[in-house]
Every structure is written in structure tokens, then in C-alpha cells.
Amino acid sequence: MLSSDINRYISLRRTLGYKLVRAERHLLAFARFAAERDESHIRTGTVLAWLPTAAKSPNAMAHRLTALIVFARFMQAEDPRHEIPPADIKRTTNRPVPYIYTADEITRLLDAAGNLRHQRPNPLRRKLYVMLFGLIASTGLRISEALALRLDDILHDGVLHIRETKFRKSRLVPMHATVMEALQRYLEARRQHAGESDWLFPSVEHRQLYPTTVNYTFRCILRRAGIAPERSQQPRIHDLRHTFATRVLEQCGAARGEVARHFVALSTYLGHVSIHNTYWYLQATPEMMTDIAAAAETLVGENAA
């Protein structure tokens, strides 16, 4: 059945650096659906029947369809009896528009974090969340990257070692001197409460913080700070990363070559595997989009030549 082919496919792609956690889950779910129909090959009709049962939103359907299309291409190269579903099936996506925080809103957010309710089991709570969200806002780290930091990932001269995140890529992230100073103050407070844990942001049990706990706390902080209460979709932690990228691009010069170099440097700093992934951050600054995208592509083309 398809499940053994999926395991082989996932193992092969992981050797190339892909994580494919969600893709593996989606593909195995489809394999179970196909097995119930006694099918050992990918059929477009089966895909059409499975998608509405597997996901309700257009975004979720698009993610599952994308995983299936790539897998189907892989399988058809070995066996032409596999069908490749057309890419336009339920393909509409509604990627959330990023919320760009103002400098005042970030200040209010960190102030609210510093005034969280005191919890006896977690005396480090206030300082931890101020440092966590401040670090993301000032470096553009992904929340998963920040939560995965350990003490030995803080290198000399104010540099963070981000280990094997998306596509198992590692990178070095320099910090501003003011961020490093704040981090040193946090580490001094942390030494009194974190026990033997080597996580930079430990949980009450001195383990890695759960993302669900962090997201819940962030929503509490947003309410306390009074940030965008009128929005149906509340700002996210990930929007701090969007804000960082947008502010960096806004500060680059107007000359085309200068803009392109800033853009390519930002793409590397953020850990994007392709410069095309960085284009998304330009949505918040549409007046810069055309020039920066064109200039960056030109520069990348010149460097590749």
C-alpha cells in the first residue's frame, strides 16, 4: 500500500534537509483513506473525495494538496499508473496579512509582559517573556527558534547560534549591543531560578517551553497592552518577525544596488532557503515591493553567473 512508499519518500527527502512533519501526517492520512478503498495507486478521484474530509478551510486543503502533488510526481516517475492531481483543485489560499507593530506597540507589549501576574511556581515569568518577545522583535527569530535556544547557543561577541531549524539549516544571528545587554541582565536573573536547565527560556519544570503556553501568554499580553482590539484576527507572535523584516527594509537606502544587497542580507539573516520566501514581507510595504524585488533578483542573478 501507499504507506510504505510514503515512508520511503519521506526518508529520502529528509536526507536532503526537509523536515516534512506536517506533510508526513497528511500523506499517511491519505494513504489510510486510499487503503479503505483498496487502492494502492494515487487517483485524482480519490484525492477529490479525500480533501473535503481531511480539511475544512481552503488553506488546509491547499497544504494537503501540495504535499500530495509532490509525492505523486515522485511516485509517477517510478510507476506511471499513479495520477498527479491538478494543481487548481481547491487551490485558493488566504495567507494571513501580517500585522506590523509600531514602536510604541512593541514598548507597550514588553511593558505588559513585565507586569504579568506573578506566579509562585514560575518566579522568572515576567523577565522571561520580556526577554523572549523582545529577542524576537529585535532579531526576527521564529518563535520555534527562540524556544529551542540553549545557553551554549549564545556565542561570544553577541551572536546567537540558531541550530538546524527549517530545512535543517543552521545560521549565526548577530544581536545589537542593547539586546545583548538585556540578555545579560536576563541571564543573571535566570541563574537564580532555572536550576540545572540549559534551555535559555525554561518552563516551570526546567524543560523547553511549550508553544501553546507561550501563545496563550502572548494573547493575555496583547489584551493588557490594548493592541488592535478591534481586529477580528489578533496580531501574532510571528508578526514580530514580519515587523522586524519590514523595518529593516524601510531603513535601507534608495539606490537599487543598495536595496538589493540589504534584501539578500535580510533573506540570509532570517534563515530563508530561497529569496522568494522573503518577498512575502514586502506585502506590508507595497510601495517598496517592485523596486526591491527586481533589484534583488538582478543581484542574485549576477552573483550566480
Q: What is the CA radius of gyration of the chain?
A: 22
Residues 13, 41, 43, 142: which is the catalytic one? 142
Looking at 238, 247, 256, 261, which residue is catalytic? 238
Cell of residue 219, nine digits = 494573547
Residue 241 annotated as catalytic:
yes
Could you say which of 166, 219, 236, 261 is catalytic? Answer: 166
* C-alpha cell belonging to residue 171: 545560521
Q: Where are the alpha helices (DSSP H) in 15-102?
A: 21-36, 44-54, 58-76
Strand partners for 122: 119
Give DSSP secondary structure letters for 228-297: STT-SS---THHHHHHHHHHHHHHS-SSHHHHHHHHHHHHHHHT-SSGGGGGGGGGG-HHHHHHHHHHHH
Q: Which residues of 225-245 are buried (b: 16+ CB within 10 A; e: fewer)?
A: bebeeeeeeebbbebbbbbbb
Asked about 127 being catalytic, the answer comes back as no
Helix axes of 125-139 and 103-113: crossing angle, nearest 10 degrees: 160
* Catalytic status, residue 142: yes
CA 139-144-149 angle, to 5 degrees, is 70
Catalytic residue among 64, 125, 127, 241: 241
With beta carbons less than 8 A apart as the criterion, state whether 207 and 198 touch. Answer: no
223 is catalytic: no
User: Which residues are identified as catalytic?
Assistant: 142, 166, 238, 241, 272, 281
